[in-house]
């Protein structure tokens, strides 16, 4: 052990190392209370400015747009469809009119969702129930239900009472207001009336063909509307919320010159005659001899507007005014009228008529073989001699013949008031060649409609004054005011004396003499009356060779009765009958019915017999 020496001084202890002193922190500066207040105020002002600008934008700039968007959610403009006008005949008998109806609709997808595994059973029950209550086809109703669409039309139109019965039994079935077009005569004058059907786009009836389409603006009227509030998310009208209303204006009624009874008779007789004679088609027109008003306009091919789905495009047409044909010998009155009016010939003039005649580069024959014979001009017409007619036409001259065609209305529309009317075709005068004048006088090389044919003979029946035919007699407005259709300006074709001479010549066509004294149309004669008329036969074009057919013909007849003071003019065309190529017997049927119906007094005078061929 180590000890310290005695007397030695004590040692000093070493000092511990010193630690550096921590840095001194400055106390934080206190914020200025007045500066903080200014900043807050600036932020508040900025927010107020932004809010004000937004409010200004909403209330001023976007006000109209936002208001419109809001109105869409609660305001509904409910259309008020105008009631369609009726079509009546000259006696006021309804031929087309409208009634209120309902459409039955459903949401097949919703029915499936609600019924689940029982959906098919429920849909079957609905289909058969609707068929029972409305007479609809159950299979069609089921087919409409058997989809997953949100909307399906089950029955387009039913009576409101039947719709109510369906709704009571089947709450799933909804109803929509409809307007049902009624055609009480079915096919009666269907080619004239046309048809109107419900348009889903327009939510109203719309004319498709015929007068229903041509007179759409007059018949349809003007729709109105009602502004109402509806519950949000639905079309349910809030009671008492009506804001404004513009009433609809019903369409005007259309009164025709047709006589329903005459139309029915002619239509039935024509269809039976066409069928019996194996024709492809046929048309007939009956005019009032004095006024030119159409009393009947019939086609053998027609349709039932109550079953539009079953109609073909050809059945919807109206050939009597839209489809021209070559008329044949009925056109020979053009030559005769020009010859008598110009004084070139008289009914008693005698012509030595050979069996054939050469015109330019072609030879024209009569329809029967005969030696040169002495025909009166009446005999040329009554026997329908092509050669005698061309001999007379050469005396008349091309210019006078052309003028007579125009006066009789050929090559121009009649303006009858029916859609799709054709004016036929007459070759322009400056295009005629030598052979053209060998065709036109005998009714080949030009075309006309049955209506134009009737108009030609109306001029003869009306003492030489042609009144263009019309089928609209008047319109009757919603207020009941009747506005007669403006009458067409008559055209003087020939003098009354010439027209009377022509009628007597045409009476000879129907005389039943022996041999060469027999006219070509005695089957048209009606006991107790003098009938004036003309037969016609024209070759049709064979498309295979672009030449005239030797087997297919247009068969025509046009005439008037009683011949002394005609009441009616009748024109008929048969398209390629396979047997019995004569339309005069159909004229007889139509004229006989009209005479009985109107109780036209019979004549006590015997039918005149005039010489057609003289020694």
How far the first Cα of the chain sits from its last, in Å, is 199
Backbone dihedral angles phi then psi of residue 368, each to the nearest 5 degrees:
-135, 155
Round to whole Å and give the CA distance between 295 and 259. 5
Number of DSSP helices (H) and strands (E) in the chain, helices first: 18, 24
Residue count of the chain, please give it.
Answer: 615
Instruction: Name which of 594, 586, 404 is nearest 499 in CA terms.
Output: 404
Q: Does residue 139 carry a catalytic annotation?
A: no
Look at residue 356 and give its three-state secondary structure. Answer: strand
Instruction: Name which of 584, 615, 590 is nearest 384 in CA terms.
Output: 584
Token duo for residue 374:
């002495």
Round to whole Å and give the CA distance between 401 and 530. 29
- Of the candidates 329, 384, 385, 402, the residue annotated as catalytic is 329
Strand 253-256 relative to strand 87-88: parallel, antiparallel, unpaired?
Answer: parallel
Query: What b/e sequence results for 21-42 when a residue is b if at least 16 CB atoms lie within 10 Å of its CB, and e otherwise?
Result: eeeeeeeeeeeeeeeeeeeeee
Q: How many CB atoms lie within 10 A of CB 306?
A: 15
Element (H, E) at 574: strand 568-575
Look at residue 160 and give its three-state secondary structure. Answer: helix
Round to whole Å and give the CA distance between 564 and 25. 142
Q: What radius of gyration do the chain's Cα atoms show?
A: 45
Query: What b/e sequence results for 204-237 when a residue is b if at least 16 CB atoms lie within 10 Å of its CB, and e otherwise?
Result: bbbbbbbbbbbbbebbbbebebbebbbeeeeeee
3-state SS of the chain: helix, strand, coil percent to 5? 35, 25, 40
Round to whole Å and give the CA distance between 374 and 376. 7
Round to whole Å and give the CA distance between 528 and 533. 16
Instruction: Name which of 395, 297, 293, 379 is nearest 95 in CA terms.
Output: 297
Q: How many CB atoms lie within 10 A of CB 126?
A: 24
**Residue 300 CB contacts under 8 Å (≥ 6 apart), including other chains:** 270, 271, 274, 275, 279, 281, 282, 283
Token duo for residue 183:
């055609």
Enumerate the active-site residues: 329
């Amino acid at each position: 052990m180590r000890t310290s020496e005695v007397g030695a001084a004590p040692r000093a202890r070493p000092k511990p190392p010193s630690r550096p002193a921590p840095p001194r922190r400055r106390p934080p500066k206190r914020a200025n209370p007045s500066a903080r207040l200014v900043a807050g105020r600036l932020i508040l002002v900025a927010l107020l400015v932004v809010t004000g600008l937004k409010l200004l934008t909403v209330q001023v700039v976007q006000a109209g747009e936002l208001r419109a968007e809001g109105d869409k959610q609660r305001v509904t403009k409910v259309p008020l469809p105008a009631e369609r006008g009726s079509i009546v005949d000259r006696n006021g008998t309804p031929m087309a009119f409208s009634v209120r109806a309902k459409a039955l609709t459903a949401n097949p997808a919703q029915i499936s969702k609600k019924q689940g595994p029982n959906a098919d059973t429920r849909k079957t029950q609905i289909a058969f129930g609707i068929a029972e209550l409305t007479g609809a086809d159950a299979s069609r109703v089921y087919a409409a239900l058997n989809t997953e669409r949100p909307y399906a039309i089950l029955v387009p139109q039913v009576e409101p009472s039947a719709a109510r019965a369906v709704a009571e039994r089947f709450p799933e079935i909804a109803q929509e207001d409809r307007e049902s077009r009624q055609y009480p005569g079915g096919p009666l004058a269907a080619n004239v009336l046309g048809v109107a059907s419900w348009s889903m786009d327009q939510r109203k009836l719309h004319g498709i063909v015929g007068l229903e389409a041509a007179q759409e603006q007059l018949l349809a009227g003007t729709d109105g509307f009602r502004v109402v509030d509806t519950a949000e998310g639905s079309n349910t009208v809030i009671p008492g919320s009506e804001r404004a209303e513009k009433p609809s204006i019903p369409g005007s009624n259309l009164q025709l010159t047709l006589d329903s009874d005459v139309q029915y008779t002619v239509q039935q007789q024509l269809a039976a005659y066409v069928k019996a004679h194996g024709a492809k088609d046929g048309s007939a027109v009956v005019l009032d001899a004095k006024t030119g008003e159409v009393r009947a306009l019939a086609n053998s091919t027609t349709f039932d507007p109550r079953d539009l789905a079953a109609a073909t495009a050809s059945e919807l047409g109206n050939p009597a005014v839209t489809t021209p044909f070559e008329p044949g010998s009925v056109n020979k009155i053009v030559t005769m009228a020009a010859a008598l009016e110009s004084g070139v010939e008289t009914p008693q003039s005698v012509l030595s008529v050979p069996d054939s005649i050469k015109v330019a580069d072609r030879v024209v024959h009569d329809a029967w073989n005969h030696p040169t014979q002495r025909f009166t001009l009446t005999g040329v017409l009554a026997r329908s001699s092509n050669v005698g007619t061309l001999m007379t036409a050469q005396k008349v001259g091309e210019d006078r013949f052309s003028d007579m065609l125009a006066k009789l209305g050929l090559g121009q529309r009649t303006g009858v008031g029916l859609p799709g009317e054709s004016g036929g075709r007459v070759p322009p005068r400056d295009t005629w060649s030598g052979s053209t004048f060998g065709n036109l006088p005998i009714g080949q090389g030009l075309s006309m409609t049955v209506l134009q044919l009737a108009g030609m003979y109306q001029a003869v029946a009306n003492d030489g004054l042609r009144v263009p035919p019309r089928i609209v007699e008047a319109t009757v407005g919603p207020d009941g005011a009747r506005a007669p259709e403006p009458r067409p300006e008559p055209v003087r074709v020939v003098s009354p004396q010439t027209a009377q001479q022509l009628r007597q010549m045409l009476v000879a066509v129907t005389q039943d003499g022996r041999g060469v004294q027999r006219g070509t149309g005695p089957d048209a004669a009606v006991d107790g009356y003098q009938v004036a008329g003309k037969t016609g036969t024209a070759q049709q074009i064979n498309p295979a060779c672009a030449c005239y057919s030797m087997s297919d013909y247009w068969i025509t007849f046009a005439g008037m009765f009683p011949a002394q003071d005609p009441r009616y003019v009748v024109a008929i065309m048969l398209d390629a009958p396979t047997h019995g190529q004569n339309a005069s017997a159909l004229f007889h049927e139509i004229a006989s019915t009209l005479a009985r119906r109107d109780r036209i007094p019979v004549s006590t005078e015997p039918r005149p017999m005039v010489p057609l061929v003289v020694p």
